[in-house]
């Protein structure tokens, strides 16, 4: 099925370790983004991209890096994991660099940092 | 600074009755509002939306009302069904703000009892 694929679904990291959360979409969407969901906080935007080679920061970018070398992929890197990064991470994509609607979300990656 | 707020963390309703979920926002530049539904271990899925030029939008059992003067929107579900039990997120965006990024509320967990 076409959509947004996130891997892995679950991950446990030790403090200070690094890892990359993968996100891929096969809908030829220009816009891709990463959100984190925490209890009582809703979903907060980490980073987003309006096309290959273009990325920008969202509301909570500290501790995370992104790159967009292809239209399909938008990986999220944690360089040195901290317990505060324990969360559920969602990748979302949308057709059109500038738009209000049409977001498709992945099923999420649950990350625990111990 | 929470620009989109859902002040009720949870709501319990009897099957067949009306569910009313509320959302308040502070930024008058928002021009599009959306409701997402989320089941456990899944990503959010789009439910219904409304443009700021309208005050009501209906889709089957779901109706969204927008009161711009009060900066308030609500989602009505009539009649409520047990399958509607999920977390509902209100989101807002402005096409002029970072390419239409979504800003989410904290979510309301709806429980529909048989």
pLDDT in tens, B5-40: 999 999 999 999 999 999 999 999 998 999 999 999
E strands present in chain A:
4-7, 10-13, 19-25, 31-38, 42-51, 54-57, 64-66, 76-78, 87-94, 104-105, 109-113
Contact criterion met (CB below 8 Å) for A112 and A12: yes
Write down the pLDDT at residue A113: 97
Contact criterion met (CB below 8 Å) for B57 and B88: no
Q: What is the mean pLDDT of residues B40-68?
A: 95
Q: What is the mean pLDDT of residues A15-35?
A: 96
**Number of CB atoms found within 10 A of residue A87's CB:** 21
Q: What angle do CA A70, A74, A79 make, to 5 degrees?
A: 125
Does the N-terminal peptide bond of residue A106 adopt cis geometry, omega within 30 degrees of 0? Answer: no
Contact A101 B34 (CB under 8 A): yes
Phi and psi of A84, rounded to 5°? Answer: -65, -10
Q: From the centroid of its chain, how far is CA B61? A: 14
Tokens of B58: 């209906």
Q: Is A105 on the interface with B (CB under 8 A)?
A: yes
Residue with tokens 């505060």: A84
Please state, rounded to an integer, the average pLDDT across all residues of chain B.
Answer: 94
Q: How far is A82 from chain B (nearest CA, A)?
A: 23
Q: Is A19 on the interface with B (CB under 8 A)?
A: no
Write down the pLDDT at residue B60: 97
In chain B, whose CA is at the least distance from the CA of A33? B101
How far is residue B76 from each of residues A98, A112, B24, B65, measured CA to CA in Å?
29, 36, 15, 8
Contact criterion met (CB below 8 Å) for A81 and A13: yes
Strands B56-59 and B62-67: antiparallel
Q: What is the mean pLDDT of residues A89-108?
A: 84
Residue B114, judged by CB atoms within 10 A of its CB (0-12, 13-18, 19+), counts as exposed
Contact criterion met (CB below 8 Å) for B39 and B109: no
Write down the pLDDT at residue A97: 60
Contact B49 A48 (CB under 8 A): no
Contact B99 A35 (CB under 8 A): no
Q: What pLDDT band is residue A17 in, cutting at 50, 70 and 90?
A: very high
pLDDT tops 80 at residue A45: yes
Contact B101 A45 (CB under 8 A): yes
Residue B113: its H or E element: strand B108-113
Write down the pLDDT at residue B70: 97
Write down the pLDDT at residue A98: 60
């Amino acid at each position: 099925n076409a959509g947004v694929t996130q891997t892995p679904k679950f991950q446990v990291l030790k403090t200070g370790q690094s890892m990359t959360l993968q996100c891929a979409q096969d809908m030829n969407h220009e816009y891709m983004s990463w959100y984190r969901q925490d209890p009582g906080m809703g979903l907060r935007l980490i980073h987003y991209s309006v096309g290959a080679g273009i990325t920008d920061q969202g509301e909570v970018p500290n501790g995370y890096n992104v790159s967009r070398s292809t239209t399909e992929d938008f990986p999220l890197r944690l360089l040195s994991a901290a317990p505060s990064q324990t969360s559920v991470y969602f990748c979302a994509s949308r057709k059109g660099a500038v738009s209000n609607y049409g977001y498709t979300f992945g099923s999420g990656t649950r990350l625990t940092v111990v | 600074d929470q620009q989109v707020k859902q002040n009720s963390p949870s709501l319990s309703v009897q099957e067949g009755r009306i569910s009313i979920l509320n959302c308040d926002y502070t930024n008058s530049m928002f021009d599009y509002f959306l409701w997402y539904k989320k089941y456990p271990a899944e990503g959010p899925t789009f439910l219904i939306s409304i443009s700021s030029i309208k005050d009501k939008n209906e889709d089957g059992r779901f109706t969204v009302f927008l009161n711009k003067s009060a900066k308030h929107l609500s989602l009505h579900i009539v009649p409520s069904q047990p399958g509607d039990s999920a977390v509902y997120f209100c989101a807002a965006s402005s096409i002029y703000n970072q390419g239409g990024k979504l800003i989410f509320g904290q979510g309301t967990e709806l429980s529909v009892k048989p």
